[in-house]
Amino acid sequence: MKKILLFFIATCVLISVYSQLPNFKFSTDSVQISSKVEFFIFDGPYGEHENLKKPAIRFIVTVKNLGTKPIPDLGVSNRSQYLNLYINDSLNNPVSLYNGADLPGHHLLLKGTSDTYTWWLFEDTAYSNVFTVQWEYLDLFSEKYKIIKSKKRIELVK
């Protein structure tokens, strides 16, 4: 009788543990990915400079879960695994994509929730006067934008 009881308890514990682990095959049919690009003036400390005012470009990506199953958020570990940045149609992930503190555990977006990641660079260190930018998340691509620095213009590429 003790063996049956121990077997039953062990089975219940195993089922409980395995049911809490997420399913790592994410359904992307209900994922919305969008991006935005904007010019701004960086105003604040940077490196050795106490107060720096310099033109910069901000690249913003937002993912939203419209489905019922959880999807990865844009925390550090998930960014480095599921998010990519393409500049001029070439993979060009910034180092900051992999930097930051991440709390232990699984970081998932439940139905109806979203997460945003922002990366920026100074205009004088940008890739060229004209370049394109696009984000990829779980093999889904955001809108592609063409940035024209000299005219401070952003165009949606169709």
In a domain, 129, yes or no: yes
In a domain, 75, yes or no: yes
In a domain, 147, yes or no: yes
User: How many Å apart are CA 49 and CA 109, to the nearest integer?
Assistant: 37
E strand intervals along 2-151: 31-46, 49-65, 71-72, 83-87, 90-91, 108-109, 114-122, 130-137, 140-141, 144-148
How many structural domains are present in the chain? 1
Q: What is the structure's pLDDT at 73?
A: 93
Q: What is the extent of the structural domain holding 147?
A: 24-157
Q: What is the structure's pLDDT at 24?
A: 54
pTM for this model (two decimals): 0.79
Per-residue pLDDT of the chain (158 residues; tens, 9 = 90+): 777 766 666 555 445 444 444 445 666 668 999 999 999 999 999 888 888 999 999 999 999 999 989 999 999 989 989 999 999 999 999 998 888 877 776 789 999 999 999 999 999 999 999 999 999 999 999 999 999 999 999 999 98
Apex 16 CA angle, 12 and 18, nearest 5: 120
Q: What is the structure's pLDDT at 101?
A: 78
Q: What is the structure's pLDDT at 107?
A: 84
In a domain, 105, yes or no: yes
